[in-house]
Amino acid sequence: MYNDETLYEKMLNFAINQGGRYVLFVIRPEIDFDKNNSAFLNEMHPYLKKDFTSDNWPCTQIFDDKANILIFDFVKDSLEILRKYSDSFASWEQPNLPEDMCILSPEGDAFLATSASEKCVWVDIKYRDQYLTLNKDIKYLSISWKLTKV
């Protein structure tokens, strides 16, 4: 899943169609940028909503340092920039690009989160219709469903 280009595209489309509102990236200060990372951040700059430091973000807690957290609007134009620079979840790793891409809900909750160091993707599906849509569109995923809200 982590390196699958088709799945990456389907998951991004699913996230924007299901109400993903923001996209979060992590910049670790101990890892240098390359030119591609700088170009990506320059193109995304018009969509920047927040820039702060933290020792935690969805799927990750660090203990020895803090990282820069960047939150951008997740809209069709910024989605096109993501597609331009990356074709899989595995691409989101410094120095080439920022790390740990996460799609956030309008409330700021993680809807889709990745961890570059763990090479994993996590999706928080809260509603049955989201489960049915994802299960229909991405047939080879192993998805289990547990009703927690009525």
CA distance 122 to 64: 24
What's the rounded Cα separation, in Å, for the pair 72 and 2? 22
**CB-neighbour burial class of residue 65 (10 A; exposed 0-12, middle 13-18, buried 19+):** exposed
Confidence of residue 130 (pLDDT cuts 50, 70, 90): low
pLDDT of 10 > 80? The answer is yes
Joined together, the tokens standing for residue 142 give 């192993």
**Average pLDDT for 120-134:** 69
Looking at the chain, the number of H-run helices and the number of E-run strands are 4, 8
Cα(28)–Cα(46) distance, integer angstroms: 21
pLDDT per residue over 44-77, tens digit each? 999 999 999 888 777 777 778 888 999 999 999 9
DSSP E strands in the chain: the ranges are: 22-27, 48-54, 56-57, 60-61, 67-73, 99-104, 110-115, 120-123
Query: Which tokens in the block code for residue 5?
Result: 């280009």
Q: Which two tokens stand for residue 91?
A: 């691409």
Helix (H) or strand (E) holding 77: helix 76-85
